[in-house]
Amino acid sequence: AQKVTQAQTEISVVEKEDVTLDCVYETRDTTYYLFWYKQPPSGELVFLIRRNSFDEQNEISGRYSWNFQKSTSSFNFTITASQVVDSAVYFCALSGPSGGKLIFGQGTELSVKP
Amino acid sequence: DAGVIQSPRHEVTEMGQEVTLRCKPISGHNSLFWYRQTMMRGLELLIYFNNNVPIDDSGMPEDRFSAKMPNASFSTLKIQPSEPRDSAVYFCASSLSGKSGIEQYFGPGTRLTVT
């Protein structure tokens, strides 16, 4: 069975702090895909990143970075120098080898205070 | 480029009424997904289509729910009769199946309230 666990329900930081959102997944597939989505207070779901199971290279995009470790089945997301606009619920998700159904974690609500 | 379009954005209806939610996927995408978001259950897949054919409907709660995709640019999710426990945000998403671009792009959602 596939499962995604985001153990942190809520995180609160002060602007300019770095913050890491944890994601642990379970799957029996050897090929799979991992995703992060952002849901701001307005409610839409915004795609942030996709990683393939065969590519463990970490990725950086501006203030965002992602650390994928197959050995620990984790796909963590770090925001450097957080800003108020980063306040949102962040979801980690998993899909199988052909894409298709996304299995979402329960989400982590990040609050960045000025 | 237009993203995924959903209508209506908000729907308030009384228990027992029929509700129809509509979705227009991103042009050129060949997979379409319906998800539901609630506080209790989070985000869960209801059904998805590939090339207009339903592939996985195991998440459809019961016979009151039905979904159709008559062509590549339109899908509906119907609830008949609606019940208060159907109150949720319903998202439609689309993707382009293949080695690249399998990420799903979501519409703005329809917030359904059944009283």
| Predicted local confidence at residue A97, as pLDDT | 85
HSE (side-chain half, CA atoms, 13 Å) at A98: 6
Q: Which residues of chain B have pLDDT under 50?
A: none
Contacts of A104 in chain B (CB under 8 A): 42-44
Q: Compute mean pLDDT per 10 residues along chain A, 114 residues long, and list them.
A: 95 98 96 96 95 88 94 96 97 90 96 97
Residues of A with Cβ-Cβ distance to B48 under 8 angstroms = 100-101
Contact B113, B86 (CB under 8 A): no
**Buried-exposed string B69-82: b where 16+ CB fall within 10 A, e elsewhere:** beebbebebebeeb
**Closest to A23 measured CA to CA, from A72, A80, A79, A86:** A72
Residue recorded with tokens 């991103």: B26
Portion 80-99 of B in contact with A at CB < 8 A: 89, 91, 93, 95, 97
From residue B36, give the alpha-carbon distance in Å to each of A29, B10, B111.
25, 14, 10
